[in-house]
Amino acid sequence: MKKFGMTRRKFLAGAAVGSASLVASSYMSFDAWAATDTVAEDVKVTPTLCDACGNWCAINVYTKGGRIWKATGNPIAGLNKGKVCVKGHAMLHDVYNKDRIKTPLKRVGANRFEPITWEQAYREIGSKLKDIIARDGVQSVFLVQYPEGNEDLTNRFMNALGSNNVFSHASTCFLPRNIGWWLTTGAPKPEQDLENSRHVVFIGRNPAAGLQLRMLVDMAKAKDKGAKYVVVDPRFSEMAAIGHQWIQIKPGTDLALLLALANVMIKENIYQKDFIEKYSVGFDEWASKIDYYTPKWASEKTTIPEKVIVKLAHDMAEAAPSSIIHRGYHGAMGTQYKNSLQLVRAAGCINGLLGSYNQKGGMFNAPKVKLGKLAPEKYPGVPELDMPMSDGSGDPDKYPITPVGLGITQAIPELALAGKLKAGFVYHNNPLRTCPNPARMIEGYRKLDLLVSFDYVLSETASLAHYILPESYYLERDDVVHTNHCYTSKQVAIRQAVIKPLYDTKPMVQILTELAPHCGVGEYFGFTLEEYNRAALAPLNISLEKMKKEGVIDLGGEWKPGEPKFSTPSGKLEIASSILQDLNLPAVPVWEEPLVSPNSKDPYEFRLIHGKQAHLTHARSINQKYLKEITTLNDIARVWIHPERAKALGIKDGECMTISSSVGKGRARAKVTEGIHRDCVFLPSGYGVFAKNLEKAFGFGTSYNDFLPTYFDPVLGHVMANEIIVRVEKTQS
Ligand X SMILES: Nc1nc2c(c(=O)[nH]1)N[C@H]1C(S)=C(S)[C@@H](COP(=O)(O)OP(=O)(O)OC[C@H]3O[C@@H](n4cnc5c(=O)[nH]c(N)nc54)[C@H](O)[C@@H]3O)O[C@H]1N2
Query: Of all residues in this chain, which one has the CB nearest to ligand SF4 in the complex?
Result: 88
What gap in Å lies between CA 223 and CA 209, rounded to an integer?
A: 18
Cis status, amide bond into 643, omega within 30 of 0: no
Whichever of 51 and 460 has its CB closer to other proteins, that residue is 51
Binding to ligand X, residues 331-370 (CB under 6 A): 331-332, 334, 336
Binding to ligand SF4, residues 69-98 (CB under 6 A): 80, 84-85, 87-88
Phi then psi for residue 616, to 5 deg, are -125, 140
Binding to Mo ion, residues 318-377 (CB under 5 A): 330
Sheet containing 67-73, strands listed edge to edge, beginning at the edge strand earlier in sequence: 43-49, 58-64, 67-73
Residue 289, sorted as left (phi over 0), alpha (psi -120 to 50) or beta, turns out to be: alpha
Per-position x/- string for 203-242, each x denoting binding to ligand X as judged by CB under 6 A, each - no binding: xxxxx-xxx--------------------xxxx-x-----
Question: Which one of ligand SF4, other proteins, Mo ion, none interacts with residue 173, CB within 5 to 8 A by kind?
Answer: Mo ion
- Kindly state whether residue 240 participates in binding other proteins, applying the rule CB under 8 A: yes
State which amino acid sits at residue 350: I
Contacts of range 386-393, beta carbons closer than 8 Å, 24 or more positions apart:
387/164, 389/164, 389/165, 389/166, 389/167, 390/139, 390/140, 390/142, 390/165, 390/415, 390/420, 390/421, 391/165, 391/167, 391/415, 391/717, 392/717, 393/717
The pairing of strands 199-203 and 323-325 is parallel
- Of 177, 216, 225, 217, give the one whose Cα is nearest residue 197: 225
Question: Which one of other proteins, ligand SF4, ligand X, none interacts with residue 427, CB within 5 to 8 A by kind?
Answer: ligand X
Size of the site for Mo ion (CB under 5 A): 2
Q: Which of 159, 172, 248, 693 binds ligand X (CB under 6 A)?
A: 172
Q: Crossing angle of helices 283-290/254-267, nearest 10°?
A: 100
Q: Which stretch binds ligand X (CB under 6 A): 277-285, 413-421, 424-432, 484-492?
A: 424-432
Whichever of 105 and 535 has its CB closer to ligand X, that residue is 105
- Kindly state whether residue 450 participates in binding ligand SF4, applying the rule CB under 6 A: no
Question: Which one of other proteins, Mo ion, ligand SF4, none interacts with residue 615, CB within 5 to 8 A by kind?
Answer: other proteins
* Under 8 Å between Cβ of 691 and 625: no
- Kindly state whether residue 211 participates in binding ligand SF4, applying the rule CB under 6 A: yes
Binding to other proteins, residues 301-320 (CB under 8 A): none
Q: Which stretch binds other proteins (CB under 8 A): 4-12, 309-317, 364-372, 561-569?
A: 4-12
What gap in Å lies between CA 443 and CA 413, rounded to an integer?
A: 7
Question: Which one of Mo ion, ligand SF4, other proteins, none interacts with residue 50, CB within 5 to 8 A by kind?
Answer: ligand SF4
User: What is the tally of helices (H) and strands (E) in the chain?
Assistant: 24, 26
* Beta carbon of residue 330, minimum distance to Mo ion (angstroms, whole number): 5
Per-position x/- string for 192-211, each x denoting binding to other proteins as judged by CB under 8 A, each - no binding: ----------------xx-x
Reported residue count of the chain is 733
Buried b (16+ CB within 10 A) or exposed e, 307-332: ebbbebbebbbebbbbbbbbbbbbbb
Whichever of 47 and 438 has its CB closer to ligand X, that residue is 438
DSSP letter (8 states) at residue 65 = T
* Beta carbon of residue 249, minimum distance to ligand X (angstroms, whole number): 5
State which amino acid sits at residue 87: K
Question: Which one of Mo ion, ligand SF4, other proteins, none interacts with residue 656, CB within 5 to 8 A by kind?
Answer: none
Whichever of 89 and 572 has its CB closer to ligand X, that residue is 89
- Of 425, 391, 393, 434, give the one whose Cα is nearest residue 411: 391
- Kindly state whether residue 400 participates in binding other proteins, applying the rule CB under 8 A: no
Whichever of 172 and 212 has its CB closer to ligand SF4, that residue is 212
- Kindly state whether residue 613 participates in binding ligand SF4, applying the rule CB under 6 A: no
CB atoms within 10 A of CB 708: 27
What gap in Å lies between CA 325 and CA 330, rounded to an integer?
A: 15
- Of 341, 337, 313, 342, give the one whose Cα is nearest residue 325: 313
- Kindly state whether residue 674 participates in binding other proteins, applying the rule CB under 8 A: yes
Per-position x/- string for 156-185, each x denoting binding to Mo ion as judged by CB under 5 A, each - no binding: -----------------x------------
Question: Which one of Mo ion, ligand X, ligand SF4, none interacts with residue 172, CB within 5 to 8 A by kind?
Answer: ligand X
What gap in Å lies between CA 37 and CA 721, rounded to an integer?
A: 51
Whichever of 352 and 438 has its CB closer to ligand X, that residue is 438
Whichever of 321 and 684 has its CB closer to ligand X, that residue is 684
- Kindly state whether residue 626 participates in binding other proteins, applying the rule CB under 8 A: yes
CB atoms within 10 A of CB 598: 21
Binding to ligand X, residues 426-485 (CB under 6 A): 427-431, 433-434, 454-457, 459, 471, 473-474
Q: Could you give the maximum distance between any two Cα atoms of the chain, in Å?
A: 100
* Beta carbon of residue 658, minimum distance to other proteins (angstroms, whole number): 25
Beta strands in 57-205 (DSSP E): 58-64, 67-73, 105-109, 112-115, 141-145, 166-167, 191-192, 199-203
Helix H or strand E encompassing 478: none
* Under 8 Å between Cβ of 262 and 349: yes
- Kindly state whether residue 259 participates in binding ligand X, applying the rule CB under 6 A: no
- Kindly state whether residue 57 participates in binding ligand SF4, applying the rule CB under 6 A: yes
- Of 206, 350, 190, give the one whose Cα is nearest residue 264: 350
Residues that bind other proteins (CB under 8 A): 1-5, 7-9, 11-13, 22-23, 25-26, 29-30, 33-34, 37, 69-73, 82-86, 88-90, 92, 208-209, 211, 213, 216-217, 219-221, 223, 236, 238-242, 246, 248, 614-615, 625-630, 634, 673-675
In the complex, which residues of this chain contact ligand SF4 (CB under 6 A)? 50, 52-53, 55-57, 80, 84-85, 87-88, 211, 213
Where on the chain is the footprint of ligand X (CB under 6 A)?
51, 53-54, 146, 169, 172-174, 203-207, 209-211, 232-235, 237, 249, 251-252, 254, 329-332, 334, 336, 427-431, 433-434, 454-457, 459, 471, 473-474, 609, 611-612, 614, 616-620, 682, 685, 703, 705, 722
